Amino acid sequence: MLLIMSDEHDVSTHRVINWLTYLKVPYYRINNTSSVRIDYLTTKNGKIDFKISITSPYSTTPYILYANDIKGYWYRRGSFELEKIRIQEVKSENMNIVKEKFNKYLDEENKKIVDFFHYYLTTFPHLGCFLDNFTINKVFILYQAQKEKILIPEFVITSKKRDIEIFLNKYNCCITKGIDRNGLSVCKGIGLGNSTIVITESKFSQLSANFNYSFVQQYIDKKADIRVFYLDGKIFSTAIFSQNDEKTKIDFRNYNEEKPNRIQPFKLPDAEEKKLRKLMKKLNYKTGSIDYVLDKNNNLFFLEINPIGQYDFISYKCNLFLDRVICDYFKKIIG
């Protein structure tokens, strides 16, 4: 059986599951909304043995999963939490702090068990890994890409206005974006975006002499964005013509829903594919979405890798049928 971990509303997962169902590949899906209870977890003769009960919000009957059921694993998105038992009442107000500390301790204990499952599931033939969410580092990946002779835009990380001024004098036009993520969640239903922006003269003039560390990168006057989907050595590339739309010119992820960018298949040069395969192997990524930009002189500049990035929109637009490709990958494993 293929075990899938995903977000309840992830369309890409739905489409792969349609193929798994059609081709009669056994699977079970755990969503971020699933409730998980461990009935037992132990080791026998150097092998893990467990029984866990999984309940979805739409069913009162739990699904029973045994260790021996799993033959392959696909981490797409999300995680899960264990059922919680908490101290609800205390005899005095003075004990409230004890209750809070102890409940936090129980949360940390549960998290270690969940972390164990994330580690353990990667011992099976798998695509994706929950831990990639926390170990991925944009700057380190750029460093490794450059070591593989992959062209990257020049960048600097600095906290001083003077350094940005020097960088602007060298490249005339620069952009800034998050070092790690493209935004943050403030509370339920409220978040702050952090998109790619051009450092204009007016924005530069508003900077203080010192600020928090920021990622500043050479702006590439592009012909197109190149989105690549990588799957265990196979490379599927597309060109996104975002440059002629002011909304998507700087960052194609500022999607124009009324007039979407044209997307078409694109072939990376063989030498670039070879370097990319070597980079993905070095980083231990079996799958991922990779971004390049193609400049006006047809030079390819590598930007970043997202091990669990989106691929559905390029699959649909370019008839790549990546959901079927992923299904076939696991069908060979599961049989």
Letter string b/e over residues 68-86, b meaning 16 or more CB atoms within 10 A of that residue's CB: eebbbbbbbbbbbebeeee
User: Tell me, what's the pLDDT at 302?
Assistant: 97
User: Tell me, what's the pLDDT at 315?
Assistant: 94
171, 175, 178, 181: CA torsion to nearest 10: -120
3-state DSSP call for residue 116? helix
User: Tell me, what's the pLDDT at 243?
Assistant: 85
DSSP H helical segments within 154-212, as ranges? 161-171, 201-205
In this structure, CATH architecture of domain 137-152+220-306 = 2-Layer Sandwich (3.30)
Residue whose token pair is 């790549």: 320
User: Tell me, what's the pLDDT at 299?
Assistant: 96
pLDDT tens digits in sequence order for the chain, 335 residues long? 999 999 999 999 999 999 999 999 999 999 999 999 999 999 988 899 999 999 988 888 999 999 999 999 999 998 888 887 776 666 666 677 777 888 888 889 999 999 999 999 999 999 999 888 777 899 999 999 999 999 999 999 999 999 989 998 898 888 888 887 655 555 556 656 567 888 877 888 888 888 889 999 999 999 999 999 999 999 999 999 988 877 777 777 777 778 888 899 999 999 999 999 999 999 999 999 999 999 999 999 999 999 988 999 999 999 999 999 999 999 998 87
Cα–Cα nearest to 230, from 307, 117, 329 = 307
The answer to whether 302 touches 292, Cβ cutoff 8 Å, is: yes
Give the C-alpha separation, 259 to 245, whole Å.
Answer: 9
User: Tell me, what's the pLDDT at 245?
Assistant: 75
* In the chain, domain spans: 2-133, 137-152+220-306, 154-219
Residue partners of 274: CB distance under 8 A and separation at least 6: none
User: Tell me, what's the pLDDT at 267?
Assistant: 96
- The DSSP-derived string for 95-106 is GHHHHHHHHHHH
Strand order in the sheet with 234-241: 262-265, 234-241, 222-231, 287-295, 300-306
